[in-house]
Amino acid sequence: MSKPSISEIAAFLTDLRAVRTGVGDPAALAVRKAELLERIAAASPDDIEAAEVARVARRAADLARGQ
C-alpha cells in the first residue's frame, strides 16, 4: 500500500469543500478519509500516532455508514 499522492489528497480536499457546502455524501467522504489515513499509516509503520488517527477515522467512517 502506497502513500496517497498529492493529486489524491487535493481531490479529497475538493470533495470536502463540496460536502461542506451541501453537495456530496458525507459518509462516502468519511470512508475516503479513512482510506487515505490508513495508507499514510501503512507507509509509516513506526508512527504510532498515524496508526491511531487512521483507526479513529475508520471507526468514524463505519459509524457514518451505519455499521
Work out how many domains the chain is built from and give that number.
1
pLDDT greater than 80 at residue 1? no
Residue with C-alpha cell 495508507? 39
Distance, CA of 4 to CA of 37 (rounded, Å): 9
Model pTM score: 0.91
Digit-coded pLDDT (tens) for 19-55:
999 999 999 999 999 999 999 999 999 999 999 999 9
Q: pLDDT-based confidence at 67, cuts 50/70/90?
A: confident
Q: Look at residue 1 and tell me if it is in a domain.
A: no
Question: Quick one: pLDDT at residue 41?
Answer: 97
Answer whether residue 32 is part of any domain: yes
d(CA 63, CA 27) in angstroms, rounded, equals: 9
DSSP code of residue 3: P
Instruction: Please tell me the number of Cα atoms within 13 Å of 9 on its side-chain side.
Output: 7
The verdict on residue 59 lying in a domain is: yes
Does 33 map to a domain?
Answer: yes
What domain range is 46 assigned to? Answer: 6-64
